[in-house]
Amino acid sequence: MTADTGETRANDACARATASAPVRLEYRGHIAEIALDNGPLNLVDKSLLREMGRVLVELDARADIRCAILHGGRGRVFCAGSDVKGFATIRNDASEHKILFEDLVLRRLARLPMPTIAAIDGPALGGGLEIALACDLRIVRRGVMIGLPESLLGGLAGNGAVRLARLIGPGRAKELLFTGSTIGSDDALAFGIVNRVAETSALDAARELAGIIATRGPLSNRLAKSLVDAAHDMPLDAALSMSTVAQQQIFDSADLHEGVAAFLAKRIPRFVGH
């Protein structure tokens, strides 16, 4: 796809972080890729959270980005969660040093305006699965294990408990949390935790899906994301009122009229995002 003149920097596909940074951000046309790069296990620590937060702030401001992929980079896993060796030093001030910071970053990820996809090519455990759950869609490679095993250590997946329950319902969420069990790709798909299972590469499958999403109306997709989230977060009448406003935005947009014109002319639409 050829990008518009104002999107030159999106076509450079340049990494926004140094090779030693725990998170890398690259732009590929209208698609952004966030790679976790914090060692072979991609452990969730302060450095990863700090860099991810910076990356998410940058990405949030990019009106030209139509989809974002988050993956495990060069790690053996998507993300193995937190480094439990550091827990003993934050016993009495965990909220200050870990819980609130982590929650802030996961909220930023979940609230990105564009659709997001987690490409899970290696195990996603504990805080790693919590990161994936903060994305809109999840694709896992066949045979990869995922889970929230915190109860095995007497711990708790706070964000994970809430997001998982909203995604798959309380019964299955409680079973996974109470037992700390990990499950394979097929069960993850059956439970509704992931959207697709990739036979070879979850990242390749995510890139293919992101490419499709990027050809659709970007304003439409951003508004659709906000309405689906509102369906969980707001009373029905308030969410429906929000949908009325969103529909008016669509009819006021150049994209809708471009889409209609392209349909009638039997050509590919050239959406601009407004």
What are the catalytic residues? 130, 150
The radius of gyration of the chain from alpha carbons, rounded to an integer in Å, stands at 19
CA dist., res. 113 & res. 68, Å (int): 10
Taking the C-alpha atoms of residue 46 and residue 115, their distance in angstroms, rounded to an integer, is 26
Phi and psi (nearest 5°) for 131?
Answer: -65, -45
**Cα separation of 183 and 189, whole Å?**
10
Q: In what order do the strands lie in the sheet with 137-141?
A: 23-28, 31-36, 67-71, 116-120, 137-141, 196-198
CA geometry: angle at 73 spanning 67 and 75, to 5°? Answer: 150
Closest CA to 98 of 78, 82, 80: 82
